[in-house]
Chains A and B, each alone.
Chain A
Amino acid sequence: MKPAPFALERPRTTADALAFLAAGGRVMAGGQSLGPMLNLRLAAPGRVVDVSAADLRTAAREGETLVLGACVTHADIEDGRIAQAAGPVLAALLARVAGGIAYRAVRNRGTIGGSLCHADPAADWVNALSALDASVEIATPSGSRRLPLGDFLTGALATALGPDELLAAVRIPQPAATAGFGYVKHCRKVGEFAHAIGAALIDPARGAARLVMGALERPPLLIADARALFGGAVDADFAARFDPEPADAALQAAGIADPVSRHVHVEVLRRAVMQAAGLQAGRAAA
């Protein structure tokens, strides 16, 4: 389990990184996913461009949007080092998601950008940020472009990123003050990738609910307008009116044929909804 030979570059700026990529190469950020792939020889790039020392570990506020540089680590978020830019509500919510990723050693190096670019369907940022309606900023040889996360994530382990492009930043809108957020991860052991993820951003004041079912063999299953799961309208007692049937139907429509898997994903989503309502993630009686 040793990597095939490769050249290593450590650019200090995004511009230098793009210049290296133009000549061919694979980006490495925290190396927590790419490292194992190199060691298992599932990836054998001739050149690795390590961007962890480039100018991408930043946090800023643009109006109601938090802009995190791609190389912000899970630990940066967990420890609140982005709290000033994020504001208390968003900072706390992101910290909770970050703290549930893997183990501390992985969080010390793994990055939010690497996580999105790796696009593992079971990854936490992939799903949590889909519910939060995030978008990404991509540095290209000719400038930059923005994509909603839903357009960026094109498949399991696949993104819209070109070989000469770099993910520069993640843009996360502030949730409304009246919104509730729920995030539930179903794992067999602590620190494991999820077997099912449910994420919910629900704002009864505006009658809006954005729900995500994740850790399927595909990008997050997003229900951007989830009123149908609450009997047609999202109001103050939405939690009591959660209807699993449309969620199950959405999974079926997405090709999830296995009823046990559907049962688990719907239940995890239900718990995320309960959390968004501020209720104990009550476990269901069978």
Chain B
Amino acid sequence: MSPRSSSLEGVGARLPRKEDDRLMRGRGQFVGDIKLPGMQDVAFVRSPLAHARIRGIAIPPEDRSRVFIAADLDGVKPIRAVSGLPGFKVSEQPVLATGKVRQVGELIAICVAPTRAEAEDIAARVTLDLEELPAVSDMIAARAPGAPLVHEHWGDNVFLETLVDIDMASAFDAPIKVSRTISTARQCMAPIEGRGVVVHLDHRADQIVFHTASQMPHIVRTGLAGCLGLDEGRIRIVSPDVGGGFGYKAILLAEEVCLGWLAQRCGHPVRWLEDRREHLTANANCREHHYQITLYAERDGTLRGVDCEATVDSGAYSAYPFSACLEAAQVASILPGPYDFPAYRCRTWSVATNKCPILPYRGVARTGVCFALELALDAVAAAAGLAPEEVRRKNLVRPAQMPFDNITNKHFDSGDYPQALERALTAINADGVRARQARGEEDGRRIGLGLSIYCEQAAHGTSVYSGWGIPMVPGFEQAGARLTPDGGLELRIGAHSHGQGLETTLAQVAHEILGVPVARTRLVHGDTAMTPYSTGSWGSRVMVMAGGAVATACTELAERARRIGAHLLQADLADVRFADGRVTGPSGDVSLAQIAHVWYRRPQDLPAGVDAGGLEVTAGYKPVRDSGTFSYAAHAVVLAVDPALGEVEILDYVIVEDGGTLVNPMVVDGQIYGGLAQGLGTALYEEMAFDAAGQPLASTLADYLLPGAAEVPAPRIDHMETPSPYTRFGVKGIGEGGAIAPPAAVANAINDALRPLGAEMLHSPVTPRRIVEAILAARAAPSRRDAA
């Protein structure tokens, strides 16, 4: 670890984000802002049915030259995202449907015209002859024998089934046994900017250039090259400003493949911009988990074991590159959360249904497992007659145990989980809230206090991903650093910044080492032609990985500058040091700008034997251990429930989080705010429901509710900073964490408020309707009792 510089721009500085100047003034450059001469727009004919055989596609003769179907797509291969886990069944996702459609919104034909409206006119004239087949839209029903089959040749609807059993039977004699069925709704990821792609041919470079809103340009290139049958070198991916990703832009789309083929076929630039209806009804969802969970505990709350059957609705196809099983595989490995207990069993199913593929969304499976485990822990507390924090105190991994290998062999690198809990309880004034609760509210509402705690593996690398055998395994991360002749700095990374503030924070990392002002440092990213290969931005990995790579490259650059500086100062190398952007020797100093000037403009002044690599370095980086950093947080929320109408108002929200060393605490706060908003969406609002025929029931934002400014409270955030022992500067990944804990904290608070009424909410989102339903049902029937 290098020392923190004395400057106000290095690691740890609360620096406003450089990129906000253009983004907040509406000067960002998104895919939708790109206009190329001769560009035409694409609209797709999509399947109106969830499951059907295609008997015919009728195209009016006058439109035939502007409409393309599967049979036209010579040499284009389906999207295949295969997992190496034993027993995984492969789905082939045709780029345009062939034979059968397996989800509403599946692509059937490409329509191209000078404007999107005209392309939609053409699409409306294409008529489909579909033979509707019985659909499966419920994942539990899909597992049952005799269910309609999404992929007939599989014989069932299960992508993958897994089982871990660690001494489960040893817990069965525990005095407390609590079982719950808990589930999270299917969601859409709903970034403000949808997907979009503009493709043109660059004849000079002999390349097909894709401008596409992507979190992982290099991975998209690999996937596209495979589907299009092209050398990777013939494809250039540019991901310009991107308006939010959250996982939705970490998937290779059939639309991208189609446009790659179409641009070659038509010769002119082509564009497809996803509209909100396509986003909501056709392209990839997330979060839909179902848990049958049983906790075994001692009367004092000490956990004896956790037994779970978890099902994930993976949708019709395995999405590239993460595959249909990453979500459920993650459930099995991270369900134990931040707790230490001796027995564990988890069986998982990744199930195919007639719905769009499910993707890892901010927090991936952690939001679901946190919801399941934290709700079940509150049920244990209620059964044991203990406060919820008491059960957590008994079971959280303690700081003295760190680093700690948990029951599924996750290696927790550092931290003080119990302290996060205690700080959250103090900040939320748990005693005061409970006193108020006991007094009751004049307006008839009921107050609830809810807690939830998680730890989050981030920036996990080769050793973790190679085991899953999916199309993408992260290795060393590389970054380029180049001094310009006037002493400015250019950084290059292959990951992408789409809201994370990397243009600022990576400049801070470089500044920490080289002392170049953040304003004079620019980040080059989002272009395969100009950046080193990277698996991209996902898994809260970029500050750890690209940050480490930038630091490594800058450190090497500093050393090269020191050698030139020593020569210019006429001093021994051993007598000069590099600090704060200068090489200082016994008799004077020389600035980085002066050194750059000599290298580029006055090479005649360079020492003999100078490093021929000059002032440009590409360096690779991996943490000392690549099993991941573990950031963690305790969330505490106070809310009021109106029991007559089920309305919920959040009164106070506290987050105590530990992301290791924070490069820019203001940016971290921003990540937490955004994550919290999405977590509240999961908790209270967002749900993509389907009917029995597999029809999505929301097609506009009037039906798919997102939290807005009025629904998101200002949380109070408290940072702990326990460095990771394995990463440069001790940073940990924090990008996703804010979205993990809110659903559990909110549901626990609602359950705390409703417990005297005998109602318990175990499904997200917790809607007013569900609350009223539960209260009325509890009134009509006596409540269940847990064994205790």
Contacts and interface: CB of A to CB of B under 8 A. Distances in A.
Given A1-B276, A285-B444, A190 B708 contact: yes
Contacts of B772: 260, 263-264
A190 to B, nearest CB: 4
Interface stretch (B114-122, B138-146, B421-429): B114-122
B327 interface: no
Contacts, number: 82
A36 B275 CA distance: 13
Contacts of B5: none
A286 B644 contact: yes
Q: Give the dominant DSSP class at A's interface.
A: loop
A283 B705 contact: no
Interface stretch (A2-10, A57-65, A130-138, A170-178): A2-10
Contact of A2 (B117, B445, B645, B779): B117
Given A260-B776, A268-B645, A286-B644, A3 B702 contact: no
A191 B711 CA distance: 11
A231 interface: no
Given A1-B277, A188-B768, A190-B711, A286 B775 contact: yes
A286 B707 contact: no
Interface in A250-268: 259-260, 263-264, 267-268
B120 A264 contact: no
A39 to B, nearest CB: 9
Given A188-B768, A190-B711, A264-B645, A283 B685 contact: no
A2 B757 contact: no
Nearest to B699: A40
B645 A186 contact: yes
Contacts of A195: 768-769
A283 B275 contact: no
Contact of A267 (B117, B275, B645): B645
B444 A284 contact: yes
B443 interface: yes
Contacts of A260: 769, 772-773, 776
Contacts of B530: none
B512 interface: no
A36 B702 CA distance: 11
Given A190-B708, A267-B644, A283-B645, A1 B275 contact: yes
B714 interface: no
A192 B445 contact: no
B711 A284 contact: no
Interface in A1-47: 1-5, 36, 40-41
Contacts of A188: 684-685, 705, 767-768
B170 interface: no
Nearest to B780: A259
Contacts of B711: 189-190
B98 interface: no
Interface residues of A, number: 28
Interface in A189-207: 189-193, 195
A4 B707 CA distance: 32
Contact of B776 (A5, A186, A259): A259
Nearest to B647: A186
Contacts of A193: 702
A282 B117 CA distance: 50
Interface in A148-199: 186, 188-193, 195
A32 B117 CA distance: 20
Contacts of B707: 189
A40 B643 contact: no
A283 B445 contact: yes
B573 interface: no
A263 B699 CA distance: 28
B277 to A, nearest CB: 6
A107 B764 CA distance: 32
B685 A189 contact: yes
Contacts of A263: 644, 772, 776
B570 interface: no
Contact of A283 (B277, B443, B775): B443
Nearest to A284: B644
B710 interface: yes
Interface residues of B, number: 37
Contacts of B275: 1
A280 interface: yes
Contact of B710 (A5, A41, A190, A268): A190
A59 to B, nearest CB: 30
B700 interface: yes
Contacts of B768: 186, 188, 195, 264
A53 B675 CA distance: 44
Interface in B270-286: 275-277
B116 A282 contact: no
Contacts of B163: none
A190 B702 CA distance: 12
A2 B116 contact: yes
Contacts of B757: 286
Interface string A272-286: 000000001011111
A41 B685 contact: no
Interface string A122-140: 0000000000000000000
B147 interface: no
B266 interface: no
Choose among B276, B443, B711 the residue with the greatest number of A CB atoms under 10 Å from its CB. Answer: B443
B1 to A, nearest CB: 46
A268 B768 CA distance: 13
A186 B768 CA distance: 10
Contacts of A191: 708, 710
A195 B275 CA distance: 27
B745 to A, nearest CB: 19
Given A36-B700, A282-B443, A189 B705 contact: yes
B708 A282 contact: no
Choose among A36, A41, A192, A260 the residue with the greatest number of B CB atoms under 10 Å from its CB. Answer: A260
B443 A4 contact: no
A285 B444 CA distance: 5
Nearest to A268: B645
B626 interface: no
Choose among A5, A36, A283, A284 the residue with the greatest number of B CB atoms under 10 Å from its CB. Answer: A283
A260 B779 CA distance: 13
Contacts of A1: 120, 275-277
Nearest to A2: B117
A190 B647 CA distance: 12
A104 B444 CA distance: 32
B752 interface: no
Nearest to A285: B444
Interface string B699-718: 11010010110110000000
B444 A283 contact: yes
A102 to B, nearest CB: 10
B775 A189 contact: no
A133 to B, nearest CB: 27
B677 to A, nearest CB: 12
Nearest to A281: B443
Contacts of A264: 645-646, 768-769, 772
A41 B699 CA distance: 13
Contacts of B776: 259-260, 263
A213 to B, nearest CB: 14
Contacts of A186: 645, 647, 768
Given A190-B708, A260-B776, A283-B642, A41 B117 contact: no
Given A40-B700, A267-B644, A286-B757, 10 more contacts: A1-B277, A5-B117, A36-B700, A40-B699, A190-B711, A259-B776, A264-B645, A283-B642, A283-B644, A285-B644
24 contacts: A2-B115, A4-B120, A4-B124, A5-B117, A36-B700, A41-B124, A186-B768, A188-B705, A188-B767, A189-B710, A190-B711, A191-B708, A192-B702, A192-B705, A195-B769, A259-B776, A260-B773, A260-B776, A263-B772, A263-B776, A285-B643, A286-B643, A286-B644, A286-B757
Closest CB pairs A-B (n = 6): A286-B643, A2-B117, A190-B710, A284-B644, A285-B444, A1-B275
